[in-house]
Each structure stands twice: as C-alpha cells, then as structure tokens.
C-alpha cells in the first residue's frame, strides 16, 4: 500500500478551519480505498511571522521539499498589513512557489447546476461551464528585469519587463496539452501576438508543441477577445493556457462567473512538487465562526489526488460527493438561498463525507 506524505500549511484566518475539513475528507478517502496519507503541519504566512518573524521559515520549506504534495489554507490579514511589503504574509506564498519551482497554476471554473442561479450570467449561457485555466506562474512581467521606478530627465518612469524563454513557455504548454488529453481534448492558447513579440514566441511554441498532440484541437485567441468569449460562451472552453499576467486576469474573471469563490480550488504544479489551495483568501472577518465554506479546499484535495498521486478514481469520487451534497440542498452562508438547508463548515464537511461513502459503495 503506497504512502503519500502531505505537508499541511494551515495559514491564517479561516485557513485552519477549511484545511481541517479537507483533511477529514482525505482521511476518509484513505480509509475507504486503503491508501495511506500522512499529514505533517508547518507554519506559513502571518502565523509564521508571529512565531518566528518570517513568513516562510526554513523548516516549513524543508518539509514541503520532502513531501509528495503541499496543502495550503490561506495567508494574510489586517493584523499584518502594517508590515513592510517584503515582510508580509503573502511573501511566504510567493517564496514557496519560487522555491518549489511551481510553474503552472491550474484554476478550474465550473458552474454547478444546483448553484447556477448564483452565476451573474444568464442560466442558458452559464450552464455546462467546466474549464481549466492553466497559467504560467514563474515568468512574465512579474519577474522580468529590469523593473522599478527610475528618474529619467528628472521625471519618474515605471518599468516592468515582459520576458519569456522558449523553455518556460514550452513546459507549461506541454502541461496544458496533457491536461486537455484527459478532458475534452480542446486547448485554447491566449496571447497578444498582434502587438507583443513575447506573445509571438508564445504562439510559435504552441504551434510546435501541437504537432506532438494531434488528438487535441487547438485554437488561438487574443487576450481581449478571450475575456469577451468567456462571458459570451463559457461552456465552449475546455483548457485555456496563457502567460502569467493574462492568466491572472482571466482566471479571476472565470472565478466570478461560477458564482462563489468558496467553490473554487487551485493547484500550482512543477516538475517535482505541487501545492494545492483554495482560491479564496483568509477571510479574517468570519474566522473562528464556523461559517467558512470548505468546498474549495476539499476540491483542492481532489486535484491533489488526480495530479500528484495519479488517483483519478478517488478524485472523481470526492468531486461527485461535493456535487451530491449540493444537489441535496446543503449550503454554507456564502452560497445559501431560500429553501436550502443551511450548514456551517463542519456540517458541510459531514454531509460531503456521507456522500463520499455513498459514492464509494456504488
């Protein structure tokens, strides 16, 4: 029986609550399937600053490097907002992504039928939406040099450099093609090659890699057009691959059309390591009140089962359990509507675990 070691970084705010729920589900998955999951906790973000003065302690990074996967809750909060930018909790998240070389960020966008009225789109437009944005995570204008604010002839000039190497593009494009092969076999590459030389290289590399994946249909969209099409025809997309800054914007747009951040998982993947976390933040205003929606973190563990452990059947079971809980009308406050059954964090977790047991028996 294989043993999978998971580094658990609860983080701040509601992080410990939603991570606790996800671990309960993952533990039950192990009991039902015979898999062995070992959890070891470490500090990151504000809690790490309070304990050791740094948002990413060395012992945390060491644990992550020796684990099969990392599960993260959330970081940050007003308590640490007055700290210098390079000392704030969010720096711990950026640092761990860099240290683990997590070059591909996966952001699913799925409209669940029981929650379709929560989408700001018309029902007939939103229905059937189920795609993944694959965002390159370690390059682009966020990391390019030179960068900064400089004086030019006595006036301030701000500079950020958009830069990609061929290999940086190729590895994330390959990852996106591989994901598309296991979904509906359609890849949308997003760039701005009509005005940006960097995007021209991006499109060339996509075309070169497409020859290695003849079973995947490829389309190219300019980023402004893609933003429009996500609103007009979201159900037509399967896998979207794009650079860091475009992916940052498009994945947030995709999150909004699903209706609730509390439903959205994510994965940041490298060649050897991977980190899984909900899209939502630390929500300090509801921390400790038992109101947080654990579904995004639970679905993040489903992504962990699929992408890090290769356990597709178990990942499918967790996702089906979440859908079953929603079909039965259970809702946390962020997704509640009249006529539904109101539950808190623990209540929703219990309902999903019960549904998981039913799915597994079938």
Residues labelled catalytic: 142, 192, 224, 248, 252
- Helices 15-33/312-327 angle, 10° precision: 120
Give strand pairing partners of 70: 7, 275
Contact between 75 and 11 (Cβ < 8 Å): yes
Q: Which two tokens stand for residue 93?
A: 């998240």
Q: Which two tokens stand for residue 61?
A: 């990074």
> What is the full DSSP assignment across 210-240?
HTT-TTSEEEEEEHHHHHHHHHH-GGG-SEE
Pairing of strands 274-278, 265-269: antiparallel
Backbone angles phi, psi at 134, to 5 degrees: -105, 110
Question: Any idea which residue has 């007009």 for tokens?
Answer: 232
Alpha-carbon gap, residue 344 to 288, rounded angstroms: 11
């Amino acid at each position: 029986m294989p043993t999978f070691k998971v580094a658990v970084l609860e983080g701040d705010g509601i992080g410990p609550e939603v991570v606790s729920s996800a671990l309960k589900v993952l533990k039950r998955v192990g009991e039902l399937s015979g898999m062995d999951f070992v959890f070891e906790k470490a500090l990151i973000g504000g809690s790490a600053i309070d304990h050791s003065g740094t948002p990413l302690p060395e012992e945390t990074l060491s644990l992550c490097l020796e684990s099969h996967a990392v599960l993260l809750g959330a970081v940050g909060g007003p308590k640490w907002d007055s700290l210098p930018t390079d000392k704030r909790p969010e720096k711990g998240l950026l640092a761990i992504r860099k240290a683990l070389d997590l070059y591909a960020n996966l952001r699913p966008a799925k409209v669940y039928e029981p929650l379709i009225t929560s989408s700001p789109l018309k029902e007939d437009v939103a229905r059937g939406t189920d795609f993944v944005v694959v965002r390159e995570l370690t390059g682009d204008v966020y990391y390019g040099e030179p960068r900064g604010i400089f004086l030019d002839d006595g006036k301030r000039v701000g500079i950020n450099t958009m830069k990609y190497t061929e290999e940086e593009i190729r590895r994330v494009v390959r990852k996106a093609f591989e994901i598309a092969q296991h979904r509906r076999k359609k890849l949308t590459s997003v760039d701005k090659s009509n005005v940006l030389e960097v995007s021209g290289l991006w499109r060339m590399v996509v075309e070169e890699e497409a020859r290695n994946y003849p079973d995947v249909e490829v389309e190219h969209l300019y980023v402004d057009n893609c933003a429009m099409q996500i609103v007009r025809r979201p159900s037509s997309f399967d896998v979207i691959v794009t650079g860091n800054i475009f992916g940052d914007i498009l994945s947030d747009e995709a999150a909004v059309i699903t209706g609730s951040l509390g439903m959205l998982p994510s994965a940041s993947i490298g060649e050897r390591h991977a980190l899984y976390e909900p899209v939502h933040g630390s929500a300090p205003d509801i921390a400790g009140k038992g109101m947080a929606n654990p579904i995004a973190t639970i679905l993040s563990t489903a992504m962990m089962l699929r992408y890090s452990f290769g356990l597709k059947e178990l990942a499918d079971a967790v996702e089906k359990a979440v859908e079953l809980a929603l079909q039965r009308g259970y809702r946390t406050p962020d997704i509640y509507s009249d006529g539904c059954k109101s539950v808190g964090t623990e209540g929703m977790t219990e309902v999903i675990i019960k549904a998981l047991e039913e799915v597994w028996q079938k």
